[in-house]
Structure 1
Amino acid sequence: MSIESIAREIANVDREINSIERSIQPIDASITRKRKEINSLFDRIAKEKDFKRQIGYQKDLARKNEEIGNLEKQRSTKSKSLADKQKKKLDLQSKLQKENQKERDKAKKEQKEILSLQQQITREMQKQKIQSLHSFDVLKPNLIDQTNYDVFVSHASEDKEDFVRDFVKCLHEYGLKVWYDEFTLRVGDSLRRSIDQGLKNSRYGIVVLSEAFFNKEWPQRELDGLFARE
């Protein structure tokens, strides 16, 4: 049973209660009036000396008592009906209160679910934002190094340990600014882009020729780049 239908039924019962209460009022008034008339008859009987008139008053008294009895029966019936309606109203109000509580609980649950969904959406959006930023950081080109170098050292990685690393250190000790992959490349840098930029920004190039050098693709590209720059 919906809240609206319960509320309508309560309103109907209220109207019925009011109608019964209004119908009881004239009955109460009639009972009060007839009791006053009975009291008046008692006074007349007590004062009356005429026996026939006393008998007449006695008959009137019996009739008034009968009328009051009938009125009280009517009032009793209506009072019972009134009590039934009032009980029905209380039951409906209790039912309405329970339904309202159900609606409040339902609304509270829905609000909680909405809040949970909003939080989930917020977390997901934040996650996607972080992933997007991460993807952007991965995909975006690193800032091009605009540093100018005195010397670009082109070599094969096999020659680092035996010669190149110590040779570059000596160049540094003489105050030369050297582009050397171990010192210049950073995590995330593009090897080809960094080499191209190093070649572009270096005044001179030094090529460490060896058997390993000629077996490597990258060192030969560096050499080609040096010749192209020349």
Structure 2
Amino acid sequence: MSVEQYQRTVNSLDKEIAELEKKKAAADKKAADESKKAESVSISKNASATTIKSKLNEIDRHNKASNKAATESTEFGKKIADKRAKRNDAYLKLQKEQQKEQKAQQKVMDNIKKEYENRIAELEKQSIPSAITYNPTTDDVNSIEQYDVFISHAWEDKEDFVDELYNALTALGIKVWYDTSKIKWGDSMRKKIDEGLKKSKFGIIVLSPNYIAENKYWTKIELDGLFQLESINGKTILPIWHHLTKKEVTEYSPIIASKLAMTTATMTAEDIAKEMLELIPKVSG
């Protein structure tokens, strides 16, 4: 069974135990109430035989009701003990499964970290970044625009956040490489991305669930390129967390998770743009 299944079992047993305890408490109350009623029945010395018989029957009814409720309480107690034993067993199994899952997650994280560390080590040995393949032949190199930042993002996040960030950055005079404005119909996407990476001083990564999805080829290409630029040319990666937790970022890339990052959870696009305006001159200086 999985952690989720064991947790559901524990939750279900907790609910059943709570219901049984309510029923037991009600049975205990009824037993006590009926016992008091039996004790409260009084028979006067001058009562007739008929009255005495009636009073004794009333006492008998209350005693029987009290005994029945006490028996039910005992049965509920047995069921509660049985459920608690099952619950304790399920909880122990849940803890073992959680520990097992945590070890598996830690192993995955260790493997990811090792993979990135190996990747960075390989890149540091290279004299020229392998992902940066674009070599202009017909363009005048000196006329190619230099950008302050390159925005690496998933296209699904454009309307939600990235378009707004781009507008906020450019409004402050920051030169931004952004694929909607720099890639024209018929252009080679890979060439243009390579060009943008090479000609940008810093790389902004908008990390989101869409960005780290398994099927995201281009975001991985851009991230590899940014890692190469940072490791070889000393350029800086500036992460922004968008709808992601620290745990999710760490699972995707421990290296990125270790970097100082901004988050859309507490900052607007304008706030982030102002921070970037302050940060870029400081880093470049």
Q: TM-score, normalised by structure 2?
A: 0.40
Structure number with greater Rg is 1
Structure with a larger share of its residues in helix? 1
